[in-house]
A and B are shown apart, each in its own frame.
Chain A
């Protein structure tokens, strides 16, 4: 079994810093695995046909073929195999599990979604966090039922092994709106950042996968993922969420990075002419973003000239806001060495310092 290379300052005997992976998709071996954590009617429903949130309906090839556990099960479902393949072979010291059911916010039945999400959180604690102290968890909540989401955060927020609240990036209204604020207030009560992750666009009660309709292929959908994050970020700024909640930190997971200068500069420019529409935006939006928002690097853009990436990082104050993420076990996984061309100070900040500060690790 091959071992992936690590940054030069991370020798086998001496490490300059810890590597924190902020987006690891553990999963259920099967839906049956949730049944011990569910009451009826959901215990029966979870294994019924057509009862769950579906995919985009396009061929995706979602996981690395080599991430299939030895028993042939679902990639990301075997804790021991995940720890071996990711934590050991990819030289990760602390792994933050993000799961894969935050997209249940677009299930038409919120009570069912709430139950499944809570069961998944319990399963995560039981099978993953308790036996493996290199792992941390994210509290998945149903963003479409903010009161229930806040209750779930209050239930699990006191745990030391839960370091983030995670919701699907696809929502039915932009996340800046007041409807969602109980989620943010609960996250602040427990000193947890809120993360959003690419989720079930175009399925359930979600809108079309893009504002102009449904693309034919996963290639088209996935290439344009930042559009979802742009809309959410602009909403958070325009609604004054960070003005209302100065303690709130936000994590954009799996959005890539290079779209950020565009949005920052666009927001700053529009604000200069349209500030009377948003009088609660009192500072340049780019400054607010730099103060409150973090971004995972994966899927890292790969420009033909590597130096351009560093220039972009400088434009967004990346040394303060970027977090390493592998996205294991998905097909577009980023190993540590995708950041090898960055200066050492950047690597240290992205692999360790920013995540350590944000998640209190």
Chain B
């Protein structure tokens, strides 16, 4: 396993992301409310550039005609066909067995580091 420096943590504030190429792989690094997550930039559906997608909340499962907003700032939506993932778990929202490839992230001496 190799450690890859992404950026200074202060350059990746909450609600932002950075897409980097590490060891030839396109990887999205996200700051969700102060926690960092690294996801492979390839949707499990059709390999679309999922990490480029909009980050938002979603509507949680509900009764008909009811809208329950939730997971604000945690949902990554693939720009190709709209599949939704929880950034913090890498899981697809309707089928948790469909997960994006994820990598451990640490903050080391103020640096965001991804282990590949």
Contact = CB atoms under 8 A, between A and B. Distances in A.
Interface of A: 178, 239-241, 243-244, 271-276, 279-280, 282
Contacts of A279: 58-62, 66-68
A243 B63 contact: yes
A282 B63 CA distance: 10
Contacts of B45: 272
Nearest to A277: B59
Given A275-B93, A275-B94, A280 B61 contact: yes
A71 to B, nearest CB: 52
23 contacts: A240-B65, A241-B64, A243-B63, A243-B64, A244-B63, A272-B45, A272-B82, A272-B83, A272-B94, A273-B82, A273-B83, A274-B82, A275-B93, A276-B58, A276-B59, A276-B84, A279-B58, A279-B60, A279-B66, A279-B67, A280-B61, A280-B63, A280-B66
B81 interface: yes
Given A280-B61, A280-B62, A275 B84 contact: yes
Nearest to B59: A279
A239 B64 CA distance: 7
Contacts of A272: 45, 81-83, 94
B58 to A, nearest CB: 5
Nearest to A238: B64
Contacts of B81: 272-273
A106 to B, nearest CB: 26
A240 B82 contact: no
B61 A282 contact: yes
Given A240-B65, A272-B83, A279-B58, 9 more contacts: A178-B65, A239-B64, A240-B63, A274-B82, A279-B61, A279-B62, A279-B66, A280-B65, A280-B66
Interface string B82-98: 11100000000110000
Interface of B: 45, 58-68, 78, 81-84, 93-94
A178 B63 CA distance: 13
A346 B64 CA distance: 35
Give the 9 A-B CB pairs with smallest separation, nearest first: A273-B82, A240-B64, A279-B59, A280-B64, A273-B81, A244-B64, A279-B62, A276-B59, A282-B61
B63 to A, nearest CB: 6
Contacts of B84: 275-276
A215 B64 CA distance: 36
Contacts of A282: 61
Contacts of B62: 279-280
Contacts of B68: 279
B65 to A, nearest CB: 7
A244 B59 CA distance: 18
A282 to B, nearest CB: 5
Contacts of B64: 239-241, 243-244, 280
A302 B5 CA distance: 64
B81 to A, nearest CB: 5
Contacts of B67: 279
Contacts of B66: 279-280
A275 B75 CA distance: 13
A10 B66 CA distance: 52
Nearest to B45: A272
A22 to B, nearest CB: 29
Nearest to B63: A280
Contacts of B83: 272-273
Nearest to A242: B64
Contacts of B61: 279-280, 282
A273 B66 CA distance: 19
